[in-house]
Structure formats: C-alpha cells, structure tokens
Amino acid sequence: MMPPVSKPSVLARRWPGAGLAAAVTLLAACSSAPPAPAPEQPGSAKPLSGEAVGKRWNLLLLGTHERLTLPEPAYFRIAPDGRISGSDGCNRFTGKASLGDKQRINVEELATTRKACPALDDAQRVTDMLENAYRYLIDHDRLVLFGPDSRVIGGWRRAD
C-alpha cells in the first residue's frame, strides 16, 4: 500500500517557492544580529600617505646618541601600499608597516636576508628598533622613533 500523497496548497500551486520565501522573510525579521560586514577585498586597503611614506630614511642614531659603523648604510622606505623595505646595514629586509592616528607606527613581519657580516649584532639592533617602534615624529628632515614607553629608540635622516 502506498502512503497518501498530499496535495500542494493553493498558495504553493500559484507561487512556487512562496513557502520558502515566507520562511526566509520570517527568519530575517526575527534576527536581532546586525548584518555582517562585507569581507575586505585584496588590494582594497587605504593607501598610506604622509611625510614618512615614499621617502628613503637613513639611520642617524640608535637611541638618542649612539652612532653605528656598519658595512653599508642602514635605511628604510615605506611604500604607499604598506610595504617597508631597506637594509639594516648588513642584510636587506622587507615587511609590513602601518601608520595610525597620533603618529602611531607599527612594523611587523620583517624578513631579512642571512648574509654574514662583522657587525651582525648592530644590524640586528636596527631591525629590533623598527619592530619595537610605537610612535614617530618628523621634524624637518629627521624622523624619530619612540618605543611604547615613549623613550626615543632611534633617529633617521631623510635622504635627498
């Protein structure tokens, strides 16, 4: 014996899918959660701008007074897309930089080449300074980096 077959309702015969649409509308009306933000598309980040971006900055001082003697000049450059690149005086590096309100700076994901050099410890101190930078200040052709405790951790001079 076959089970009884139910007949579709009049509403379902006139508007196929009306039951599903009504259920979705009812569920949406009952939801109290705000709509989820659209996922960020690659390349949609706001470009960086300001005096620190697009210029080459050469190392001047480590801390407030220490000058380093390195095999090659230490420098960095921040691109408008947030990439940071340069040299720590021995090895080349690349990473990500972000600039925020109140001269906030964040440098992360630094990757360096692994070339041996006699001043490797001092070169590491240069990359450590960049990774520990919390704020920056630009005065004429100088860029000063501050740590999270507001102490000066290094100074750079804009290359002309």
CATH of the domain at 113: 2.40.128.270
pLDDT tens digits, one per residue of 94-129: 999 999 999 999 999 999 999 888 899 999 999 999
B/e letters for 62-91, b = 16+ CB within 10 Å, e = fewer, are beeeeebebeeebbbbbeeebebebbbbbb
Q: Is residue 28 part of a domain?
A: no
List the structure tokens of 42. 């690659």
Q: Is residue 92 part of a domain?
A: yes
> Which of these ranges, 39-43, 47-51, 66-70, has the smallest mean pLDDT?
39-43
Say yes or no to pLDDT of 32 above 60: no
Q: Is residue 69 part of a domain?
A: yes
Q: What is the pLDDT of residue 24?
A: 42
Q: Is residue 25 part of a domain?
A: no
Q: How far apart are CA 76 and CA 57, in angstroms?
A: 5
Say yes or no to pLDDT of 74 above 50: yes
pLDDT band at 28 (very low <50, low <70, confident <90, very high): very low
Q: Is residue 153 part of a domain?
A: yes
Q: Is this structure's pTM higher than 0.85? A: no
Q: Is residue 41 part of a domain?
A: no
List the structure tokens of 92. 């080349």
Number of other CB atoms surrounding residue 130 within 10 Å: 23
Range of the domain at 90: 56-158
Q: Is residue 17 part of a domain?
A: no
Q: What amino acid is encoded at 24 in this protein?
A: V
Q: Is residue 78 part of a domain?
A: yes
3-state secondary structure 108-157: EEEEECCCCCCCHHHHHHHHHHHHHCCEEEEECCEEEEECCCCCEEEEEE
Total number of domains in the chain? 1
Q: How far apart are CA 146 and CA 105, in angstroms?
A: 9
